[in-house]
């Protein structure tokens, strides 16, 4: 992989991003003659990983000129930034928007890998990971496991080996590097979750999807460092609609009419699914005698997918996610049998995983981490266990999505019998203070405990449970890290902790440190 200065100039001019080239000789809009044949064989935004043939991006709110000076001392010759810096570099490429420039140049450097695969993008407040997994299971059948995926919980570039991604949607430089690796691995399809931040910070600037799926929208990620308002959050989410060749829209989503109007404004063809007949192309209905089955009907079944499907994951909300995946996979070539088999076999790490305590209580592990997903989860579990109590272990993230703390207090007030508040990626905040904020929003007279050690909180919930009860471990899912002060601190995982405690201690008093 390499890119020339002339190609860089061409790409930036095409997107109207280039301000000027700056050297010790002055400013220009032409490539300096002395660097006319300069080739870059690496891109980086980490000043610790540079050489003379690296194009270095000066990006980020925390970027300091000192980082650039150290990179130049290490041999860096050319940087790209939104302003000139007084450093001894051979060339500064000055642009109007560094994040857009990084996206444009990254796709060019990696030879536009997005055009060599079918690209599927999911957005929504909840359900993105589950729907992405459903789609991958379907396409694994249809393509003989030639499907890559970028997901909040797990990602794969060869269809089979998985790794943890730090961001729901990676920085553009990393995104195109991963896409190029998937192409090298002979992947034919690429599924990814597209976050609101990806559009707000231009990580996916200029990227178009073969199929985009808008699952739902409810307030989330509202904070000073993410989205200042719901309007800003929703607007960023809607950008997927104008960057997809075909959209799939959920008729049951809040603000559906605006989603539909957005698709029509941008002349993006769309397919509507949901559990009601009005304005819906594909309708799903629960099979009365089987809570894990649903049927799909259509006014005009152009995709040939109207039939009955069986799930391994409980909850009516997963049926809508499954149908969105069936439609998406069908649009990129999956056959009907692959759709049925994929849906029937799909499992999602940290989603609706179930354990049985020795005393008979059921233990659910789920990634539910915002208002709607938590409410749907607790509603489902409560309906499944009408004769017992609902015990919920939950925390809230630090430094972001501050509004969730009130949301969790509201849901716990409505549905929980016992709430055990604990740690969940506290970042730079004190877990106890986050728990107190949640507790302050609990208005119902339920039992509330604060145990900041998450393993001890899980142990306490198991100890307090009895035969008819259900214990819900919410928020972390299959995540094996806690984000603390900027570091990914290893964490055993909710399911592993609960499984270990049940096996080690039986129905006795639990000791998570045993």
Q: Is 489 annotated as a binding residue?
A: no
Please provide the DSSP assignment of 207-246 as one string.
Answer: --EEEEEE----S-SBSTTSBSSHHHHHHHHHTTGGGEEE
Which are the contacts of 383, defined by CB distance < 8 A and separation ≥ 6? none
- Write phi, then psi, for 86 (nearest 5 degrees): -85, 75
Taking the C-alpha atoms of residue 162 and residue 148, their distance in angstroms, rounded to an integer, is 10
Is 124 annotated as contributing to ligand binding?
yes
- Residue 127, marked binder: yes
Is 130 annotated in a binding site? The answer is yes
Q: 64: burial class by Cβ within 10 Å (0-12, 13-18, 19+)?
A: exposed
In whole angstroms, give the CA distance from residue 204 to residue 243: 10
388 assigned binding-site residue: no
164 annotated to a ligand binding site: no
Rounded-to-integer distance, Cα 310 and Cα 293, Å: 4
> Is 123 annotated as belonging to a binding site?
no
119: phi then psi, degrees, rounded to nearest 5: -110, 125
Phi, psi at residue 318, to the nearest 5°?
Answer: -75, -20
Cα-to-chain-centroid distance, residue 292: 25
**Do the annotations mark residue 169 as ligand-binding?**
yes
Radius of gyration for the alpha carbons in the chain, expressed in angstroms and rounded: 25
The DSSP-derived string for 35-103 is GTT-EE-EEES-TTS--TTEEEE--STT--HHHHHHHHHTT--EEEESS---S--SEEEEES-HHHHHH
Say whether 246 counts as a known binding-site residue. Answer: no
Name the residue among 125, 123, 120, 146 with its Cα closest to residue 135.
120
486 is in an annotated binding site: no
Maximum Cα interatomic distance, the chain, rounded to a whole number of Å? 80
Ramachandran bin of 86, using left for φ above 0, alpha for ψ from -120 to 50, beta for the remaining angles: beta
**Backbone phi and psi for residue 220, each to the nearest 5 degrees, phi listed first:** -165, 165
Q: Is position 47 annotated in a ligand binding site?
A: yes
Cβ burial 44-53 (10 Å sphere, 16+ → b, else e): bbebeebeee
The response to whether 168 counts as a known ligand-binding position is: yes
On whether the CB atoms of residues 80 and 24 are closer than 8 A, the answer is no
Reduced to 3 states (helix: H, G, I; strand: E, B; else coil), residue 423 is coil
- Ranges of beta strands (E only) in 259-389 are 270-274, 282-286, 293-298, 308-310, 353-356, 362-366
List binding-site positions for ATP: 124-130
Numbered residues of the known binding site = 47, 124-130, 168-169, 195, 203
């Amino acid at each position: 992989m390499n890119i020339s200065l002339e190609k860089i100039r061409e790409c930036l001019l095409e997107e109207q991003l280039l301000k000027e080239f700056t050297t010790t000789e002055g400013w220009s809009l032409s490539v300096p003659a002395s660097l006319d044949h300069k080739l870059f064989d690496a891109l980086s935004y980490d000043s610790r990983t540079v050489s003379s043939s690296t194009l270095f991006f000066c990006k980020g709110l925390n970027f300091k000129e000192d980082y650039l000076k150290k990179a130049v001392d290490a041999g860096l010759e050319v940087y790209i930034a939104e302003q000139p810096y007084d450093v001894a570099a051979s060339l500064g490429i000055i642009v109007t928007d560094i994040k857009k420039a990084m996206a444009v140049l990254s796709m060019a450097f990696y030879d536009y890998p997005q055009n060599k695969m079918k690209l599927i993008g999911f957005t929504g407040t909840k359900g993105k990971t589950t729907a992405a997994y459903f789609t991958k299971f379907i396409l694994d059948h249809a393509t003989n496991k030639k499907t890559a995926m970028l997901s909040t919980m797990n990602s794969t570039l060869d269809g089979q080996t998985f790794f943890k991604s730090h961001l729901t949607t990676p920085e553009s430089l990393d995104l195109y590097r991963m896409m190029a690796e998937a192409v090298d691995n002979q992947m034919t399809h690429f599924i990814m979750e597209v976050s609101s931040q990806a559009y707000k910070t231009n990580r996916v600037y200029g990227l178009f999807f073969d199929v985009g799926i808008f699952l739902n929208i409810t307030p989330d990620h509202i904070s000073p460092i993410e989205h200042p308002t719901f309007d800003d959050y929703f607007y960023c989410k809607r950008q997927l609609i104008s960057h997809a060749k075909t959209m799939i829209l959920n008729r049951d989503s809040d603000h559906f009419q605006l989603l539909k109007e957005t698709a029509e404004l941008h002349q993006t063809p769309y397919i509507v699914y949901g559990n009601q007949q009005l304005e819906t192309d594909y309708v799903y209905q629960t099979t009365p005698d089987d809570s894990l089955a649903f049927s799909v009907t259509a006014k005009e079944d152009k995709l040939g997918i109207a039939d009955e499907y069986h799930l391994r994951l409980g909850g009516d909300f997963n049926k809508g996610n499954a149908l969105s995946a069936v439609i998406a996979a069908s649009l990129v070539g999956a056959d009907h049998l692959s759709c049925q088999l994929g849906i029937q076999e799909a499992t999602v790490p940290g989603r609706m995983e179930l354990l049985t305590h020795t005393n008979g209580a059921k233990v659910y592990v789920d990634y539910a981490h915002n208002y709607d997903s938590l409410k749907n989860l607790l509603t489902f579990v409560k309906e499944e266990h009408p004769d017992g109590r609902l015990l919920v272990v939950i925390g809230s993230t630090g430094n972001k999505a501050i509004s969730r703390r009130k949301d969790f207090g509201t849901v716990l007030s409505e549905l929980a019998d016992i709430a055990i508040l604990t740690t969940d990626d506290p970042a730079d905040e004190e877990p106890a203070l986050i728990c107190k904020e949640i507790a302050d929003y609990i208005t119902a007279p339920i039992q509330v405990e604060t145990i900041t050690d998450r393993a001890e909180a899980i142990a306490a919930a198991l100890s307090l449970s009895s035969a008819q009860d259900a214990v819900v471990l919410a928020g972390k899912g299959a995540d094996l890290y806690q984000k603390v002060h900027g570091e990914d601190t290893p964490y055993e995982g909710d399911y592993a902790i609960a499984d270990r405690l049940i096996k080690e201690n039986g129905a006795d008093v639990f000791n998570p440190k045993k």
